[in-house]
A and B are shown apart, each in its own frame.
Chain A
Amino acid sequence: MATSQIITVSNLVKDYFMGRQFFRALNGITFSAVKGEFIGFVGPSGSGKTTLLNIIGALDNPTSGEAIVLNKPVSTLHQKEAARLRNDSIGFIFQTYNLLPVYTVYENVEFPLLLLKKGNAEREHAVMQALEWVGLTAKAHSRPNQLSGGESQRVAVARAMVKVPEIVLADEPTANLDAANSHNILTMMQRLNDELKTTFIFATHDEKVISYLHRKIVLNDGRVVDDIMMN
C-alpha cells in the first residue's frame, strides 16, 4: 500500500543562546512520518520533545537541518506562510488547554474556522460536529472557567479537530488530567485518528499516553535514541 510522507525531518539542530552560552535542544534529529500515524515523542524533561513539536508546527525555526511539513520547508517559511500552514493544516493541543477565556466553548471551537473565513452555516455545522466528537454539545455555551480539566481538554481537542487538519500536535495533553479523563481523551483521539486519518503527534513522558501510541520515537539529550513501532 502506498503511503504519503507528510513530515520529513533531517539532521535537525536547534540551539538556544543564553548570553554567551548556548544550549543545544535538538542535536541532529532525523525521522519521517506518514499520513494517519499516531506517534509520540517520548523522553524525559529537556530531551527536546516540545522543541521538535514547535518546529514541526512552524512555531519555531531550526538552527540547521530541515523539517519539511506537508511539502513545505519550515525554516524558509515567511511568518505569513507559517501562519497559513498552521491555520490550514495543523491543529494544536496544549498541556494547559490554552482556551480563549472570554469565549464560550462554541466560540473557542469556532475560532480556527473564522480564521479560515468559512461561512456561517459551514462553521455552525463543523463546530457542532466537533463538539459531538468530544461529547460536549451540552456545554456549547459554557465559558472555559465553568469547565473541568477533562472538559477543557476535550474542547481543546474539538478546536484542534474542527477544521479536520492533516496533523494534530499535542504537547503533554494529559499531564493535567486524571487517569479516567486521560483515557477518555486518548480513546477519543484514537477514534478520530481512525475515522479521519489525521496524523497525531504527541510530546509526552506520560506512561498512560505511551500505551496508546502506534509508534514511539524516544528522545534523549536532543537525539533520537529509539524509534519503535508499537503493537
Chain B
Amino acid sequence: MLTLKLAFRNITHAGLRTWLNVGVLSFAFVLIVLIEGLYDGVLQQVKDDMIDSEIGGGQLWQKEYDPYDPFTLEQSHAQVSAELTQEIMKRNATAVLIASAAIFPRGHIQSALLKGVDPDQKIVRLPAFVLRQHRQTHAIPGLIGARMAKSTGLQIGDVVGVRWRNAHGTFDAGDIEIVQVMTTNVPSIDKDQLWIPLDTLRAMLRMPGEATVITLAKDIARVPAHGPQWIVRDHAYLLKELIENINKKKISSSFMFILLMGMALLAVFDTQVLSIFRRRKEMGTLMALGMTRWDVVGLFTLEGCLLGILAFLAGSLYGIPALAYIAARGITLPQMTSQIGWAIGSTVYPHYGLRLYAVTSLTLFISVIVVSFLPTRRISKLKPTDALRGKLS
C-alpha cells in the first residue's frame, strides 16, 4: 500500500513527463481499439449483408450442389418436398434453382449462372419483385448486379442472348431483357449471374417443382423436415470461409497493432530507463532512508504500471465518447471492396465488444508491467553507496 502511495505521489508530482507518457499510451490504446473495432465492424457488416441478401437463416442444399464445382450443377437439382413446399407457401423459405448457361453480351460469349428466384419472395434482400414488372419485349425478365453489369456492359433495357441445356441434355436458347441493375455489397449474388423468375427457369430446364438451394427465413424456429436429397447448411458452415478470410486479413494487419503497441511501450521503456539513469541518487537516498533494493524495484515498476492505469483511464475518458461517435457516424472508405478482397459498404461502422475492450486493456496493461519491470532489474544489483554517488553498479 505504501509503495502504491509513493508511486502515485511520484508520478503525479512528475508533471509533464507523466502526462506525455499517459498521452502516448492512451492514444495508442484508443487507436488499437478503433482499428480492431473497424475489423470487427467490417466482419459484422459483411456477415449481416450476407445473411440479409443471400443465406437468410441458413440453407438447404441439394446434396450434389457444390458452388465451387460448376460440373456438379447439372445434377444439383431435386424436387422440393411437400414439407418444404409448405414452408415456402408460408413464406418461411424460398427456393432457388441454379443452372449454368452461356450468354452473348455485345457479340461475345461468356459463361454465367442462371438463378431462378420467386419474384414474390421476401426471405432475402434481393429486388426479385422487378421480375414481375411489365416489359417492352417478350424476352425473359432478368435482374443483374452492378458487377455483372460492369463485366458484361449490360444496362437496363438491354436484351442478351442466352443458351442453356435442359434436364434432357438438349441445348436451347432465348433472350433475357435486363429489367434492373441492383447494387449490392454481396458479390456472391452478383458476379457472373443472372436472376430470372423461378417458374420460367424451371420451364426452361424442364425441371418442374425442383430447386438447388432452399433459403430459410432468418426467424424460422427450426429446420423443416427435408428428406435425403437435401443437406442443412447453417450459418457456421456458410460463413466459415468469410470469417477465415477476415481473420487472415486481421492477422496480416496485426503489424499495425504491434507498431502502435510498440510505440507506446517504447515511451514507457524510455521513461523507465531515463528514470533509472537520472534518479540513481534518489534510489540511494531511498535505500539510506530504509527501503530495500527490491522495495525500490517495486516502486519504480509500480510507477510504470500506474502510467498504464492512468492511460487506460484517460483513454476511456476521451476515447469512449470519440469511439462511440465514430461507431454512430461510421467511417467512409471509398473503393474498399476491390482493395481488401471482400465486399463491404462504402461506410464502415466499427463494432466494439466488451471482449475487444478487455483484451486490449489487458494486453496493454501486462505489456506495460513487463516493460516497466525490465529496466528496473538493474536496481536489484545496485549498491546503495554507488547509487548515492550517482553511479550505476
Residue B77 is within 8 A (CB to CB) of chain A in the complex: no
Partner of B289, one of A79, A86, A107: A86
Are B291 and A83 in contact, with the CB atoms below 8 A? yes
Are A102 and B2 in contact, with the CB atoms below 8 A? no
Are A60 and B288 in contact, with the CB atoms below 8 A? no
Partner of B281, one of A60, A98, A103, A112: A98
Segment 3-20 of B: residues with Cβ below 8 Å from A: 5-6, 9-10, 13-14
Segment 113-135 of A: residues with Cβ below 8 Å from B: 114-117
Are B284 and A114 in contact, with the CB atoms below 8 A? no
Give the interface segment out of B214-222, B256-264, B383-391: B383-391
Partner of B290, one of A102, A107, A115: A115
Nearest Cβ on chain B to A68's Cβ, whole angstroms: 20
Segment 246-300 of B: residues with Cβ below 8 Å from A: 281-282, 284-295
- B2: nearest chain-A partner, CB-CB: A114
Contact mask for chain A residues 45-88; partner B; CB cutoff 8 A; 1 contact, 0 none: 00000000010010110000000000000000001100110111
Given that A60-B385, A83-B295, A117-B2 are contacting pairs, would A102 and B13 also be in contact in the complex, using a CB cutoff of 8 Å? yes
Residues of A within 8 A of B287 (CB): 59, 83, 86
Residue A101 is within 8 A (CB to CB) of chain B in the complex: yes
Residues of B within 8 A of A60 (CB): 383-385
Are B9 and A83 in contact, with the CB atoms below 8 A? no
Are A87 and B290 in contact, with the CB atoms below 8 A? yes
Residues of B within 8 A of A100 (CB): 282, 285-286
Residues of A within 8 A of B10 (CB): 102
Segment 44-94 of B: residues with Cβ below 8 Å from A: none
Nearest Cβ on chain B to A130's Cβ, whole angstroms: 14
Contact mask for chain A residues 85-98; partner B; CB cutoff 8 A; 1 contact, 0 none: 01110001010101
Nearest Cβ on chain B to A142's Cβ, whole angstroms: 13
Are B385 and A112 in contact, with the CB atoms below 8 A? no
Residues of B within 8 A of A80 (CB): 292
Are B2 and A94 in contact, with the CB atoms below 8 A? no
Residues of A within 8 A of B292 (CB): 79-80, 83
Are A59 and B290 in contact, with the CB atoms below 8 A? no
Residues of A within 8 A of B290 (CB): 83-84, 86-88, 112, 115-116
- B380: nearest chain-A partner, CB-CB: A79
Residues of B within 8 A of A79 (CB): 292-294
- B293: nearest chain-A partner, CB-CB: A79
A159–B167 Cα gap in the complex (Å)?
Answer: 100
Given that A115-B290, A117-B2 are contacting pairs, would A59 and B385 also be in contact in the complex, using a CB cutoff of 8 Å? yes
Known: A59-B287, A112-B290, A115-B291. 18 other contacts (CB 8 A): A57-B288, A59-B384, A59-B388, A60-B383, A79-B294, A80-B292, A84-B290, A86-B287, A86-B290, A88-B290, A92-B288, A94-B388, A98-B281, A101-B282, A112-B289, A114-B5, A115-B289, A159-B289
Could you name 21 residue pairs across A and B whose Cβ atoms are closer than 8 Å? A54-B384, A57-B288, A59-B287, A59-B388, A60-B384, A79-B292, A79-B294, A83-B287, A83-B295, A87-B289, A92-B288, A92-B289, A98-B281, A100-B286, A102-B13, A107-B9, A112-B289, A112-B290, A114-B5, A114-B6, A115-B2
The interface of chain B, by Cβ under 8 A from chain A, is: 2, 5-6, 9-10, 13-14, 281-282, 284-295, 383-385, 388
